[in-house]
């Protein structure tokens, strides 16, 4: 008898990291039946990832409303998913990462005594406010999960320190590398100048810190006329206002709309340097040989810093500017970062995860 695996996700990063697992599970359709539920948290961005990886959801909760709070997301996910959980009766519910959708889905599965698998388990900063609310979401998911798919040895160590049963922890690598290698195979357009790719969206930096980040970028654009800064601006109105107010008239700064995943990967390949506050980019860019400066005070992904592919530069204007300036002027320092080995995986994480699902649910 086939075992039913329910995948629940809502944002673009979740979809990117779940897609390889869904694709791999579908290769074992004689033993596994997939049921895909999306919440539609990032409507347009989610849809383009589903199209890219040829994934068709079985259900769409369409939870998004204008000006919704984190509580709204959790409440709508619980209410909408409860009916489906009762109807579908999955053998295991799989969530990815640290979103409010993932937490709500894992909590509901616990209420109905459905086993929970957690992809990308064990990431920690040990500061509940950074990243917010992701750090606490991850810890709460770990509290109810039955299978923990840890991407690195560090994340596995974190779970063991929290007394998670070692028999339930599996070291897999990160599925984002699986997805990246699929999307990165396309031809890249050559750049005529050094391009800096920027992303910024973190809740905990709204306000003064976000303004400082933008001021650092403006200084770089003014002081280095040979660079081009390309900034896909997040859809959050709080981000867009600050970015456009400070950077809107920069001569060698291009503010563009958010990109679909595949063209974004191509931009990463083309970039000379990436400056970001994103979690996923910290994992992806090193596989492409592109140094990353992270505009955050803490990161739950310390492996890349240790490996030398990523540098944590904080959120102050002078620190961001000085770190970027070093890489733009010191070729030896740049080469050291660009040639470091990515610690996040080899492209076979999804295969390892599905092998565990086959063993644990079909034995």
Residues with active-site annotation: 98, 120, 134, 201, 203, 234
> Hunting for tokens 């970027």 — which residue is that?
324
Residues sharing a CB contact under 8 Å with residue 86, sequence separation 6 or more, in sequence order: 112
CA–CA gap between residue 302 and residue 298 (Å, rounded):
9
Quick check: bond before 191 cis, omega within 30? no
CA–CA gap between residue 198 and residue 255 (Å, rounded):
10
From the DSSP assignment, how many helices (H) and strands (E) are in the chain? 15, 13
> Hunting for tokens 């009766």 — which residue is that?
89
> Hunting for tokens 């320190």 — which residue is that?
161
CA–CA gap between residue 57 and residue 310 (Å, rounded):
35
Instruction: Report residue 38: phi and psi, to 5°.
Output: -115, 150
- 26 burial (CB, 10 Å; 0-12 / 13-18 / 19+) is middle
**Do residues 30 and 2 make contact, with C-beta atoms less than 8 angstroms apart?**
yes
CA–CA gap between residue 244 and residue 200 (Å, rounded):
13
- How distant is the alpha carbon of residue 210 from its chain centre? 20
């Amino acid at each position: 008898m086939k075992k039913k695996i329910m995948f629940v996700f809502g944002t673009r990063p979740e979809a990117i990291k779940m897609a390889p697992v869904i694709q791999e599970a579908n290769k074992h359709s004689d033993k596994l039946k997939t049921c895909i539920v999306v919440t539609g948290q990032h409507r347009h961005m989610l849809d383009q990832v589903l199209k890219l990886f040829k994934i068709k959801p079985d259900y769409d909760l369409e939870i998004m409303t204008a000006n919704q709070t984190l509580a709204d997301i959790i409440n709508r996910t619980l209410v909408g998913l409860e009916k489906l959980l009762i109807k579908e009766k999955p053998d295991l519910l799989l969530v990815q990462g640290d979103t409010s959708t993932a937490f709500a889905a894992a909590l509901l599965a616990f209420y109905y005594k459905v086993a929970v698998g957690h992809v990308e388990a064990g990431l920690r900063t040990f500061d509940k406010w950074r990243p917010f609310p992701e750090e606490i979401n991850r810890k709460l998911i770990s509290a109810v999960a039955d299978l923990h798919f840890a991407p690195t040895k560090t994340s596995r160590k974190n779970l063991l320190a929290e007394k998670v049963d070692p028999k339930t922890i599996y070291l897999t690598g990160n599925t984002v590398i699986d997805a990246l290698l699929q999307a990165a195979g396309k031809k890249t357009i050559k750049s005529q100048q050094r391009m800096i790719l920027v992303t910024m969206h973190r809740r905990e930096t709204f306000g003064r810190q976000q303004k400082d980040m933008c001021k650092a970028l403006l200084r770089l654009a003014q002081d280095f006329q040979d660079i081009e800064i390309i900034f896909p601006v997040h859809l959050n109105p709080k981000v867009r206002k600050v970015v456009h107010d400070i950077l809107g008239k920069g001569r060698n700064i291009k503010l563009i709309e958010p990109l679909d995943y595949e063209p974004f990967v191509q931009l990463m390949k083309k970039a000379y340097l990436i400056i970001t506050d994103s979690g996923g980019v910290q994992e992806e860019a090193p596989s492409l040989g592109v140094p990353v400066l992270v505009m955050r005070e803490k990161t739950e992904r310390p492996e890349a810093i240790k490996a030398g592919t990523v540098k944590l530069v904080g959120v102050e204007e002078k620190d961001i500017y000085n770190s970027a300036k070093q890489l733009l002027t010191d070729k030896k320092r740049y080469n050291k970062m660009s040639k470091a080995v990515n610690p996040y995986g080899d492209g076979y994480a999804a295969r390892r995860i599905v092998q565990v699902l086959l063993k644990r649910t079909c034995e």
